[in-house]
């Protein structure tokens, strides 16, 4: 048996893994991204606000004196790899390659999502919505995700002049279940979204809704009080730097009598603008 894998095969494997991980990622394209970062950190610039002044003829103009600041994120390297034994296949046959593509691609995709989730959790949200906000917006007992909490999140973003386009609501599967139990959210009398017939809710109150379940990487963690935070954010409020975009290779390891199929990624994320981030606490 030849122990060398052709460049054509490696290229094919790499492209298939990229397709798999891009399909598995749930937060792709929903945040600011910088590619080709060199070094251990990535910096995102933030420019302050300015206010127009009354123009008085023949007087010097008053500059806005806009402030500039930046936030940085540390780049971290990740690898997803698996051996495929030469006695189990010939040159990583098509059937096993397909399975490895899914395993490796999905693991890379989930890790990239988790980099963003960890940055969001570590950031200081501009607004925090308590778990006691009731369906009608009043204060009540601790409850799951409901319309009152969603309206409060939208109100907070609107009040801070966060652009309507590019808003995302990141929730857990249990939060979606709570929303589907709300007649106001699911009834055609209030909305044209047919969430009960599809079992999904992908957009509401101008926000794209992304739902994730339990994940070994961490996901949206629940605490000892059964409280789980979910988040509403604007695309420009979260930044991700990519030092090494996902790339794959296949090498023969004689000591293992196996091929090592591996995929690499290096990146980091940070909250750029706290005003564009809202934390919503839900009680499950």
Gap between the Cα atoms of 146 and 140, Å rounded: 12
pLDDT in tens, the chain (284 residues): 345 566 777 788 888 888 888 777 899 999 999 998 988 999 998 887 778 888 788 888 877 777 778 899 999 999 999 888 776 655 555 566 777 888 899 999 999 999 999 999 999 999 999 999 999 889 999 999 999 999 999 999 999 999 999 999 999 999 999 998 877 665 554 555 555 456 678 888 999 999 999 999 999 999 999 999 999 999 999 999 999 988 888 888 888 888 888 999 999 999 999 999 999 999 99
Write down the domain spans for the chain.
Answer: 7-121+242-264, 125-238+274-283
* Prediction pTM value: 0.85
The overall longest dimension of the chain from CA atoms, in Å, is 87
Gap between the Cα atoms of 273 and 125, Å rounded: 9
Structure tokens given for 176: 């979606």
Please report which helix (H) or strand (E) contains residue 114, including its range.
helix 94-122
**Range 7-121+242-264 classified under CATH 3.30.2400:** yes
Gap between the Cα atoms of 196 and 188, Å rounded: 10
Structure tokens given for 246: 């996902």
Q: Are 44 and 31 in contact (CB under 8 A)?
A: no
């Amino acid at each position: 048996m030849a122990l060398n894998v052709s460049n054509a095969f490696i290229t094919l494997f790499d492209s298939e893994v990229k397709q798999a991980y891009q399909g598995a990622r749930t937060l792709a394209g929903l945040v600011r991204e910088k590619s080709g970062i060199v070094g251990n950190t990535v910096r995102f610039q933030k420019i302050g606000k300015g206010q127009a002044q009354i123009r008085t003829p023949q007087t010097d103009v008053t500059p806005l004196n806009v402030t500039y600041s930046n936030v940085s994120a540390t780049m971290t390297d990740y690898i997803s790899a698996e051996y495929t034994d030469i006695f189990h296949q010939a040159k990583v046959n098509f059937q096993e390659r397909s399975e490895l593509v899914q395993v490796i691609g999905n693991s890379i995709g989930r890790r990239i999502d988790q980099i963003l989730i960890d940055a969001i959790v570590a950031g200081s949200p501009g607004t925090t919505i308590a778990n006691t906000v009731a369906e009608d917006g009043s204060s009540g007992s601790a409850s799951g995700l409901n319309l009152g909490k969603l309206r409060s999140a939208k109100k907070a973003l609107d009040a801070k002049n966060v652009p309507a386009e590019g808003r995302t609501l990141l929730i857990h599967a249990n939060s979606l279940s709570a929303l589907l139990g709300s007649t106001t959210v699911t009834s055609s009398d209030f909305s044209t979204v047919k969430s009960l017939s599809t079992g999904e809710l992908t957009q509401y109150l101008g926000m794209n809704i992304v739902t994730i379940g339990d994940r070994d990487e961490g996901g949206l963690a629940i605490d000892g009080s059964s409280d789980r935070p979910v988040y509403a954010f604007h695309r420009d409020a979260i930044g991700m730097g990519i030092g090494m975009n996902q790339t794959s290779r296949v090498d023969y390891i004689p000591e293992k009598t196996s091929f090592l199929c591996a995929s690499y990624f290096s990146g980091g994320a940070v909250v750029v603008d706290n005003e564009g981030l809202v934390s919503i606490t839900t009680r499950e």
